[in-house]
């Protein structure tokens, strides 16, 4: 039951944070807030995964669930990314949609790597 509560609490924090950031108006009309949200979430999940791997006793299971499944799951958003990409396509902005999709995937995978490298730099190997 504690695991479920940790995931739920993390999901609440992540979703409310994403909602708040989504209120930021952008003049460009590009889905940059979603890209930023997904990039930050990718760095966080990479760091948490690596920290849990390097120092499994330092991060309790419930903390990992709160951060990885709850916070990152509630904060990042593949469905919004997909919707925004389709809306760009439907608006005839094929090149922008392609660039957005490519940038999202490349930057977010790089973000996970950056998070893992950050955790390695900050935590001694067990």
- Residue 76 marked ligand-binding: yes
Name 40's Cβ contacts closer than 8 Å, sequence gap at least 6.
Answer: 75, 111
14 and 77 in contact (C-beta within 8 Å)? no
CA distances from 104 to 8, 36, 46, 77 (A): 26, 9, 16, 11
Q: How far is the C-alpha of 108 from the C-alpha of 125, rounded, in Å?
A: 25
| Annotated binding-site ranges | 73, 76
| Annotated binding-site ranges for Na(+) | 73, 76
């Amino acid at each position: 039951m504690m695991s479920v509560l940790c995931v739920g609490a993390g999901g609440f924090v992540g979703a409310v944070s994403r909602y708040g950031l989504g209120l930021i108006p952008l003049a460009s009309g590009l889905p940059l807030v979603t890209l930023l949200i997904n990039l930050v979430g990718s760095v966080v999940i990479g760091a948490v995964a690596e920290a849990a791997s390097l120092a499994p006793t330092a991060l309790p299971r419930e903390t990992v669930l709160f951060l990885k499944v709850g916070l990152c799951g509630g904060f990042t958003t593949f469905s919004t990314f997909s919707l925004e990409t389709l809306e760009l396509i439907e608006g005839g902005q094929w090149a922008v949609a392609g660039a957005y999709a490519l940038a999202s995937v490349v930057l977010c995978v790089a973000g996970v790597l950056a998070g893992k490298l950050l955790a390695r730099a900050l935590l001694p190997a067990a």
